[in-house]
Structure 1
Amino acid sequence: MPAIEILGLEKIYKVGFWRKQTRRALHPLHLTVENGEIFGFLGPNGAGKTTTLKMLMGLVFPTAGTARILDRDWTEPEVKAQIGFLPEQPYFYDYLTAHELLDYYGQLSGVPAKDRKRRIDEVLARVGLTDVRGVQLRKFSKGMLQRAGIAQAILHDPKLVFFDEPMSGLDPLGRREVRDLMEQLKHEGKTVFFSTHILSDAEALCDRVAIIHKGELRGVGAVADLTSSVQGKVEVVWQGTQVPASMKALGAECHITGDTVRAVIADTQQDAAIDALRRERLRLIAITPLRTSLEAYFVEKLQHSQTTAGTTV
């Protein structure tokens, strides 16, 4: 049973003074998110990530399409009770304290009064706000407000959590703590769907990712598959600054860094490379498959979409 099943969601806005012009924010989107995975929704600013999340939350009505969440129709109130949501730019009343804010959201989310204090204490500890629980939110930094937003999203122990740019405003330590929290949520059996344009976070966290650009899905897959070996190539590293002619004959692309040489060759040539280094009495340090990064895959998809768009004008 998928946690999220998106079936042709589409959004077209009417714009202009007379609202006779249209702007397509999201092309028909078909996407499935499995139970218990961390799923990254990647794209540059303005790609359609927030529009998609707001439609899934019922905050924006789609022009067409539908969705199922937790194996139920997405419009059912029972579904909303099992969802946590952190918007991209959360706004909270300045004069509430962190504890008062969570008590308010706990009531809205239906957390029983007898359990509310315990749950508030737990989530404040998880997001590192225990020491400032009595401080008014107007005195919080942007990063602290982001933590408060994460706390309200998980307060009612939801099965599915939507985070829209959860790393926004956080310092490196805060980002590390949020990544740890997401992994904990996954280990608890929850599904995490988060949008981001910080690719290093997505690569470190996600089981699968989808890439969206200009409102259109450009690619989806497991991170391990998207960052697989590059066209059957390996990197050979050896001690020294000497590049044997026999290595050049293998078509090696060599780069000298300090007292080591790094060479990229076809994986079918690695035995020949080892023999060449042995003949020259050079010390082999490592042979590793050359892998692409999520960033390289992301850029490739965006460049391809721009090229395609250019050829269809």
Structure 2
Amino acid sequence: MHDVSLQVGRGEVVGLLGPNGAGKTTVIKMLLGLVRPDGGEALLLGRPAAEPAARAGVGYLPELFRYQPWLTPAEVLALHVRLAGAAVSDAERRECLATVGLAGRGDDRVGGFSKGMQQRLGLAVALVARPEFVVLDEPTSALDPLGRADVRDIVLDLRSRGVAVLLNSHLIGEVERVCDRVVVLDRGRVAAAGTLAELLGQRELRLHLTGLTAEAEARLARTGGVHREGDWLTVAVPADDETVAPALVRDLVGLGVSVHAVEPVRISLEDRLLGILREGAADRAAQP
């Protein structure tokens, strides 16, 4: 890792993105004291991450885990509550299982669970001790679309309750739906970081126009870069200014242009991520 710096505030969801081997899981392990960094400092809830007391308020779902097949979910939760030193009633544990979609399965053997059900149990373990900071490493792996939607709802509920969430996921669409900020790692370095609006930088408008005049074309050009295919034009507009599109349409109509359709097009996080990684690869290739 090289000068990696990130922060997760209370009531905030921060996503970690990057290719395999970028260092995402390593960052999480250093944060949780599972790997010791050569330098730098990690703080958990205002305390040095090396202190066990700091980790007491953290819930963690690792990417790879396995529970003893002869245990039941109720026994797994009871074990982890005891390890955490938390006071969590049986009713709260049952409620936690219900939250992750395992209601009524608390007395079944884990050995008979599908991979998706085990993933749900792992999420329950991360949440059962009422953590202030939750670290989720690939929480939706092995889950079907309904399961991914459940995880998304859980993450949003955690944020609404002021819990800090660090989310590592290869499913960019999930990150885009729930994260307030994103940190892109590439080869152990922070390649980009910011809110989605800051990372995406711009969006586009597709307009079906006829009757374009030179004056109207100049007005389009002042808005942003223009790409034309027949009567359809794509114009780049700032992502954080909602007044640009209505003002542009109003001016075009005032200039006598017939506006048949206006379609907002947002640059996807996946496209932006690929661009960041390709830029990094190009920079490395250009170095002597």
* Structures share fold, TM-score greater than 0.5: yes
Residues 182-234 of structure 1, C-alpha deviations (whole Å, 9 max, x = no match)? 0001111100001112111111100001000111110000113223424xx53
1:124 corresponding residue in structure 2: 97
Q: 2:135 aligns with which of 162, 165, 168?
A: 162
Structure that is richer in strand per residue? 1
Letter paired with 1:149: G
Residue 155 of structure 1: CA displacement? 0.6
1:274 corresponding residue in structure 2: 253
Letter paired with 1:265: V
Q: 1:298 aligns with which of 265, 270, 273?
A: 273
d(CA) in 2 for partners of 1:159 and 1:119? 16
Kept in 2, the 8 Å contact 1:103–1:116? The answer is no
Compare 128-137 and 174-183 and name the one that shifted more: 128-137
User: Aligned pair count?
Assistant: 272
For the aligned residue pairs, the C-alpha RMSD in angstroms reads 2.4
Residues 16-43 of structure 1, C-alpha deviations (whole Å, 9 max, x = no match)? xxxxxxxxxx222122222210000111
TM-score normalised according to structure 2 size = 0.86
Letter paired with 1:274: V
Residue 264 in structure 1 maps to residue 264 in structure 2: no
Q: What's the % identity of the aligned pairs? A: 34
Residue 266 of structure 1: CA displacement? 5.9
Kept in 2, the 8 Å contact 1:33–1:39? The answer is yes
d(CA) in 2 for partners of 1:191 and 1:262? 44
d(CA) in 1 for partners of 2:7 and 2:139? 21
1:42 corresponding residue in structure 2: 17
Counterparts of residues 55-134 of structure 1 (less than 5 Å): 55-112=30-87, 115-134=88-107
2:262 corresponding residue in structure 1: 286
DSSP 3-state at the match of 1:33: coil
- For structure 1, the residue ranges without an aligned partner over 5 or more in a row are 1-25
d(CA) in 1 for partners of 2:259 and 2:234? 17
d(CA) in 1 for partners of 2:52 and 2:145? 37
- For structure 2, the residue ranges without an aligned partner over 5 or more in a row are 238-243
Kept in 1, the 8 Å contact 2:69–2:109? The answer is yes
d(CA) in 2 for partners of 1:83 and 1:263? 50
DSSP 3-state at the match of 2:3: strand
1:10 corresponding residue in structure 2: none
Residue 58 of structure 1: CA displacement? 0.8
Letter paired with 1:284: H
Residue 234 in structure 1 maps to residue 208 in structure 2: no
Letter paired with 1:307: A
d(CA) in 2 for partners of 1:175 and 1:272? 44
Letter paired with 1:32: Q
2:240 corresponding residue in structure 1: none
Counterparts of residues 248-259 of structure 1 (less than 5 Å): 250=217, 253-254=227-228
Residue 191 in structure 1 maps to residue 156 in structure 2: no
d(CA) in 1 for partners of 2:229 and 2:142? 38
Task: State the structure with bigger RCO (CA 8 A, min sep 6), 1 or 2.
Answer: 2
